């Protein structure tokens, strides 16, 4: 990595940590300059203004999120061709990844931009919206594949169900930070996994036990 790229990455790293901790409004260019040890002209060489910095931060965050989801759910799909089992495995792998974060998830820039959207121009707001819609399309595609094989026990709107995945992830971050319990996010992902199993796994009638009644359970996919 060239020196200019290293400086830009350093600015973004410091800015992201500050923004997730204090918000965009509470983060000043002056403190970023002091923290990174560069000159003011050096900062403005990389970012024309705070809005351009926010745009770069958001795009980098979204790209990283997409890369993580690609890796996790592609790996799950390689391990099993069953769409439901693949999705459940992907959620399990995601939970394990989140559990490995030593201090919990630092926060979500997409949510932060939403909280402070009045600070940003229409381009950043639209980038944020498109990121959420991309999550809906990603999870919606996987859920439609599941529904083609496993009819849900209750009628559900696939886009709303896809949005629920994002809601659990975003809400889990808030819970973890508010409760100061880093593992809460990972546990919420596992709870979502349980819900998906209950929604899609078919009910099967268990063998009748002598002197008793028939039991019902869920058939695990193979």
pLDDT, tens digit (0-9, with 9 covering 90-100), for 91-130: 999 999 999 887 778 888 888 888 777 778 889 889 999 9
C-alpha distance from residue 28 to each of 18, 31, 57, 73, 168 (Å) = 9, 5, 15, 38, 31
Is 60 exceeded by the pLDDT of residue 221? no
Distance CA 143, CA 32 (A): 42
Domain span(s) for CATH 1.10.357.10 in the chain:
58-199
Q: Which fold, 1-47?
A: Arc Repressor Mutant, subunit A (1.10.10)
pTM to 2 decimals?
0.85
CATH code for the structural domain at 58-199: 1.10.357.10
Domain span(s) for CATH 1.10.10.60 in the chain:
1-47
DSSP symbol at 116: T
Q: What is the pLDDT of residues 123-160, one digit of tens each?
A: 988 999 999 999 999 999 999 999 999 999 999 999 99
User: Closest by alpha carbon to 116, among 165, 185, 57?
Assistant: 57
Stretch 38-57: mean pLDDT, rounded?
A: 92
User: Closest by alpha carbon to 31, among 51, 14, 6?
Assistant: 14
Confidence (pLDDT) at 215: 44
End-to-end CA distance of the chain: 46
């Amino acid at each position: 990595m060239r020196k200019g790229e290293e400086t830009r990455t350093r600015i973004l790293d410091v800015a992201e940590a500050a923004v997730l901790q204090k918000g965009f409004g509470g983060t000043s260019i002056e403190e970023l300059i002091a923290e990174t040890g560069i000159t003011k002209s050096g900062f403005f060489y990389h970012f024309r203004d705070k809005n351009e910095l926010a745009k770069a931060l958001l795009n980098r965050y979204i790209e990283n999120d997409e890369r993580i989801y690609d890796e996790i759910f592609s790996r799950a799909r390689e391990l099993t061709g069953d769409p439901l089992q693949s999705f459940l495995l992907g959620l399990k792998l995601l939970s394990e990844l989140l559990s490995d974060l030593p201090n919990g998830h630092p926060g979500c820039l997409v949510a932060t931009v939403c909280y402070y959207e009045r600070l940003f121009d229409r381009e950043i707001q639209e980038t944020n919206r498109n990121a959420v819609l991309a999550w809906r399309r990603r999870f919606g595609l996987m859920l439609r594949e599941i529904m083609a094989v496993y009819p849900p026990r209750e009628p559900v709107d696939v886009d709303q169900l896809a949005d629920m995945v994002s809601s659990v992830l975003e809400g889990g971050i808030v819970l973890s930070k508010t409760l100061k319990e880093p593992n809460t996010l990972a546990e919420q992902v596992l709870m979502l996994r349980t819900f998906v199993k209950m929604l899609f796994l078919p009910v099967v009638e268990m063998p009748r036990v002598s002197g008793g009644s028939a039991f019902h359970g869920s058939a695990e996919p193979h």
